[in-house]
Structure 1
Amino acid sequence: MSILNIPLIIQDTAATEGDMGMLWMLISGILVFFMQAGFFLVESGMTDSKNAVNIAMKNFLDIAVGSLAFWFIGYSLMYGGDTGGGFFHWGGFTFSQGAADLFFQTVFAATAATIVSGAIAGRTKYTTYAIFSILLTAFIYPIAGGWEWNGGWLNNTDGIMPAEFIDFAGSSIVHSVGGWAALVAAWMVGPRIGKFLNGKPIEMHGHNQMYATLGVFILWLGWFGFNGGSQLAWGGDDATAASQVVLVTNLAAAAGALSALLFTWIKNGKPNLSMTLNGALAGLVSITAGCGNMTEGGAVLAGLLGGILVVLSIGFVEKTLKIDDAVGAISVHGVAGAWGTLVIGLWGVDGDAGIGIFNGGGAAQLGAQAIGVLAYAVWAIGLSFIFLFIMKKTVGLRVTEAEEIAGLDWTEHGSIAYPGKRQREIEE
């Protein structure tokens, strides 16, 4: 009895830790949900003001349609039954799993879809994007996610895998899948009017870099939930692990921002804001797969190299591939996602033991990571091409030239983000 004559409640430790774990996942999921606001600000800020409403509509669609599509079929495809080390297993519709887990996984699915939005901004039909968002959240992402997160073939060392593939929070599963889908979409939709002149890319400045900056800060914040929540627990050793995941996530982001800033400063004579922002995002993506298998120093190095890699990749996509990626999504998510997955095989750790080739782990883990990177690229590129090709031949992918020039806000939605002069121009 307490001194207030109120009976003391002796809580079951395991139950308390379970409740804390569920609470941590729920809070993390809420942070990841808030990342949709960050994506909107980054995408709209880095593109023309006449398409801001369209980008807002796409981001709202991703979370609204994605939530329903993933709940109805995506989650069942991903977790509906034990894959048994195989490629795919359908265990029937699964609506009764833990609410915290379902919500947490749902916002991940919406993130994968949103990556495509920025790359094809300013020239894509809204109807086409809506259909593709459903297909990505209901089929492309969930099936691929089960390969790793539901005991699929990437963890089957009795097959072709030299070691179990590791992707702690989704550098490949979420980001590369979204990035490779964005690559196919941007290529098939084609560049914005005026992006290339005589085969050379023309820089098309975004209308509000302050929006983009705020958006990256929101994404950086949300990433603590994205990676930290992927621990799927809180309490005891898991609390230490979750805290460490958040720490290395922050370090990698800071390193990516700094390396991109310095690299562009040295390369161009001035530090570039948009590249610095993308460097921070690349650092975050670079640590997402290995945030549970990376020392603090390893996380810094992964982020530093990721920040430089994204600057080089953005230039390669534009100048060599001649693909117009309006916000650098292919490089930030696809390329940096592949890098973040591979780096585990270079200097990753498992507790006190090294599993990367540079810390005595041998080549097995690097081989497993490379197989996973390739598999996710082939899957996302192949399925995206099939779906988008069908849509190109049916509903079409791109708005007309006149609609693009007028702006998708008005032609697709009958609305304008910034009334005033723009309104008068359209009415005239």
Structure 2
Amino acid sequence: MVLLQASTEALNYTWILIVSFLIFFMHAGFAMLEAGQVRSKNVANQLTKNLLTWSIGVVAFFLVGTGIAGIAGGGSFSWGGTASGLGFIDFLYGAVFAMTGATIVSGAVAGRAKLRAYITYTILLAAVIYPVVISFTWSATNTGLVEIITGTPFTDFAGGMIVHGMGGIAGLTAAAILGPRMGRFNEDGSANVIPGHSMTFAVLGTLILAFGWYGFNVGTSAIYGADGFAAAQLGQVAITTTLAMAMGAIAAGAVAWFQTGKVDTLYVANGLLAGLVGITAIPHTTIWQGALIVGIISGAQLPIVFKFVETKLNIDDVCAVFPVHGSAGVIGTLLYSFVAAGAWSGWTPNVGFMIEGLIPQVVGVVVIGGWTLTATAVVWYVLKAMGEARVTPEHEQEGLDVSEHGVETYPEFGSGESVVADGGIMSEDIEATRGSKDD
């Protein structure tokens, strides 16, 4: 019996480590997706932000965030949230989720945020903002704020709202406060398209993220449960994740085609991700027919919400992080009781089940969204008031690769000493520090 228990624990923790590594690899997907959607003069800046999000954020989460999550969730403080080898594995599993939420923000503020402003916000998100969200929901005592308010636990299996919804709302808030990139909008409010520099990178990043998402959703199911092999749940999570992903891409492409007569590649790619985000909170309860519905709604809303954010709100969300992660995360979370097993008896809806399940989901979305928006707004407004939020117009024009990092991602694109990729003009002070090629 002892040997069986030890073997089960070993398998579970080996599985958790494998899943953690898989989710960590999603940072490669975010790096490629975001780098592909920015101008070539800003690629190195975007890649650097992705690297530092993990590196700085994971330390902040380890040293401070886990402790705050424990205290706010009713637990006791534990430095780094762990006291043993197995505890360290649990920390790593939580950290890859936390850093996923953090890195989403970088895509919204691309092309104009100061690196130090973004890093400051990342530290605060990893150390405070996200840990408090955990305490509201994935509480250490299993009695988070949502359950205290409603008497029913908040359902979010793998972070559809807690990770992705939070990240999307944070990104939209930061982008709104930071303001749009130069030339993004005209004086009459009409929008100009600033295309990304590599569709190939964007699609590659999408597929890497989709691959890693199986770690997010399927990986959250343990190989062995309390009652033995959890094959039923593993299978259900795998198929609902797959179907929602596929329908998200189809629906986003279809809506884009209906709007413009063209099947937009980026909408298809981001629609695939929106379908994944939509199902992430509820893959373990959703029936396969429901997964199709979740994917369709999550994908279809993407072009509509993106256009609303662009034309009505005039917010420059560079990588569409709000419609992909924010609104899709909210929608999937709210659909929980409408697509779950038990919600329907044939064609007859179980209204009581739907209403009872909807209440904690609505409260959870409001609490998470309200806290994230407020905390994010405070941080970025303070940075803006200090003049530390945004690069100068001259640095934005020449590109953040040169102004923030002193490099050119594609130096061969330039036609002269003072020209950087995408037509940005290098300012005299930067040009002087680099010297002449003839020296």
Aligned to 1:191: 180
Aligned to 2:190: 200
- Whether 1:71 and 2:57 are equivalent positions in the alignment is no
- Whether 1:83 and 2:102 are equivalent positions in the alignment is no
Q: Distance in 2 between matches of 1:314 and 1:220?
A: 21
Q: Distance in 2 between matches of 1:247 and 1:378?
A: 32
- Deviation at residue 90 of structure 1 after TM alignment: 5.0
- Whether 1:231 and 2:221 are equivalent positions in the alignment is yes
Q: Which runs of 5+ in 1 are unaligned?
A: 1-9
Aligned residue for 1:160, secondary structure, equals: helix
95, 105, 128: which one aligns with 2:82: 95
Native 8 Å contact 1:162 1:365 kept in 2? no
- Deviation at residue 234 of structure 1 after TM alignment: 3.6
More displaced 10-residue stretch of structure 1: 187-196 or 94-103 = 94-103
Q: Distance in 2 between matches of 1:321 and 1:237?
A: 49
Q: Distance in 1 between matches of 2:262 and 2:12?
A: 46
Matched positions, count: 409
- Aligned AA (1:191): P
269, 291, 296: which one aligns with 2:261: 269
18, 36, 47: which one aligns with 2:27: 36
192, 207, 210: which one aligns with 1:217: 207
Aligned to 2:169: 180
- Deviation at residue 230 of structure 1 after TM alignment: 2.1
More displaced 10-residue stretch of structure 1: 231-240 or 201-210 = 231-240
Q: Distance in 1 between matches of 2:415 and 2:324?
A: 34
407, 411, 421: which one aligns with 2:413: 421
- Whether 1:293 and 2:279 are equivalent positions in the alignment is no
88, 100, 118: which one aligns with 2:107: 118
Aligned to 2:47: 56
- Aligned AA (2:204): L
Aligned residue for 2:395, secondary structure, equals: helix
Q: Distance in 1 between matches of 2:359 and 2:316?
A: 32
Aligned to 1:14: 5
305, 308, 329: which one aligns with 1:316: 308
Percent of matched pairs sharing the same residue: 37
Aligned to 2:436: none
- Aligned AA (2:200): M
1:76-119 alpha-carbon deviations (Å, 9 max, x no partner): 222x36835xxxx5534233252222111111111111111000
Q: Distance in 2 between matches of 1:82 and 1:238?
A: 32
Aligned to 1:46: 37
- Deviation at residue 11 of structure 1 after TM alignment: 8.0
Q: Which runs of 5+ in 2 are unaligned?
A: 421-425, 432-439
Aligned to 1:168: 157
Q: Distance in 1 between matches of 2:146 and 2:231?
A: 25
71, 93, 96: which one aligns with 1:107: 96
370, 377, 381: which one aligns with 2:369: 377
1:41-90 alpha-carbon deviations (Å, 9 max, x no partner): 11110110100000000000011011111111112222x36835xxxx55
- Deviation at residue 253 of structure 1 after TM alignment: 0.5
- Correspondence 1:328-347 to 2 at 5 A: 328-347=320-339
Q: Distance in 1 between matches of 2:195 and 2:349?
A: 41
- Deviation at residue 251 of structure 1 after TM alignment: 1.2
Q: Distance in 2 between matches of 1:155 and 1:399?
A: 39
Aligned to 1:6: none
